[in-house]
Amino acid sequence: MTSAPPLTKPVDVADPRAQAAVRIDGIDKVFPLGRGKDLRALGTVDLEVAEGEFVAIIGPSGCGKSTVLRMMAGLETPSSGSVEIFGDDPHRLAKQHRLGVAFQEHALLPWASVRGNIALPFKVAGRPLDAERVDGLIDLVGLSGFEKARPKQLSGGMRQRASIARALALSPDLLLLDEPFGALDAVTRRRMNAELARIWAEERITTVLVTHDVDEALILADRVVVMTGRPGQVRTIRDVDFPRPRGADVTRSPEFHDLVDELTALLVEAE
Ligand SMILES: Nc1ncnc2c1ncn2[C@@H]1O[C@H](COP(=O)(O)OP(=O)(O)OP(=O)(O)O)[C@@H](O)[C@H]1O
Ligand SMILES: [Mg+2]
């Protein structure tokens, strides 16, 4: 694997001249459960993500991580507060195919090939197929030689790579990943983490990743958002300053382990 060049710091969102990629302002979410009962999924959440930044969200099960991500994807609307993506409404950006989304269930078309699946967004968006882009993505996610394979002929890790390639197909402005590697074994998961880190270093797309895996968050992110239990709120946001690429020298360091312990303790506390 080629090592990525050292990365510059993301833009400072506190700088009013810098445009935030994601600006979440005081959102909460109440789901009606029928018979006059409600479920309060989120407390008040504020979060900004700078352009080019990689942010990971961790938190106990059911705390509203997917709900927050779905709001960024324009798939869910906050009960109050606002979500802006590059200063715009997420629904509108979703319609313009400027958001790339990959969730735990890979949702590839079973009857289509790897190439067909990765090319699908062009068809959905009614755009002419950019075959060069599709080939480049197949290469980027390491699926060269498997272009004609159907999803069921691929391993779980390969299917996730195809999903991520598909999410990247139209060069989205924002990549939203919800537990994309949740179903993979630990070794494959670490390999996928390294690949996603490499892809991010090459494409530099603003990325928000929801994960249960503290190591994964620390291997990939510039900042880790720790949420409290339901109704989910931001418990703390931790900067992650380890140099990239974050190989074994980083993950075996005492500093890395200290941060894993610190965030794990916060998660246990948040349950
Ligand atoms: N459409 C819905 N209708 C009613 N309740 C919902 C809906 N979507 C989510 N919820 C509830 O909102 C809460 C937050 O759900 P969400 O899926 O965002 O949690 P999560 O943090 O992603 O959990 P996990 O880590 O298990 O994936 C949960 O209690 C869930 O049951
Ligand atoms: Mg979830």
Query: In a structure prediction context, what are the per-residue pLDDT tens digits for the chain, which is 271 residues long?
Result: 444 444 444 555 555 546 799 999 999 999 999 988 999 999 999 999 999 999 999 999 999 999 999 999 999 999 999 999 999 999 999 999 999 999 877 689 999 999 999 999 999 999 999 999 999 999 988 999 999 999 999 998 899 899 999 999 999 999 999 999 888 888 888 988 998 999 899 889 999 999 999 999 999 999 999 999 999 999 999 999 999 999 999 999 999 999 999 999 999 988 7
Rg (CA), the chain: 18
Q: How far is the CA of 263 from the centre of ligand 1 (A)?
A: 22
67 vs 41: CA distance, rounded Å:
8
Q: Please give the backbone phi and psi of residue 76, each rounded to the nearest 5 degrees, phi first.
A: -145, 150
Q: List, in sequence order, every residue forming a beta bridge with 156; answer none if it has no partner.
A: none
The answer, yes or no, to whether any atom of ligand 1 lies below 6 A from the CB of 65, is yes
Where are the domain boundaries for CATH 3.40.50.300 in the chain?
1-95+174-195+205-271
Whose CA is closest to atom 18 on ligand 1? 64
181 vs 263: CA distance, rounded Å:
20
Pocket test for ligand 1, best of 27, 31, 61, 267 (most atoms within 8 A of CB): 31
CA separation (Å) from 71 to 23, 152, 198, 235?
Answer: 11, 31, 27, 19
The CATH H-level superfamily of 1-95+174-195+205-271 is: P-loop containing nucleotide triphosphate hydrolases (3.40.50.300)
Q: How far is the CA of 64 from the centre of ligand 2 (A)?
A: 7
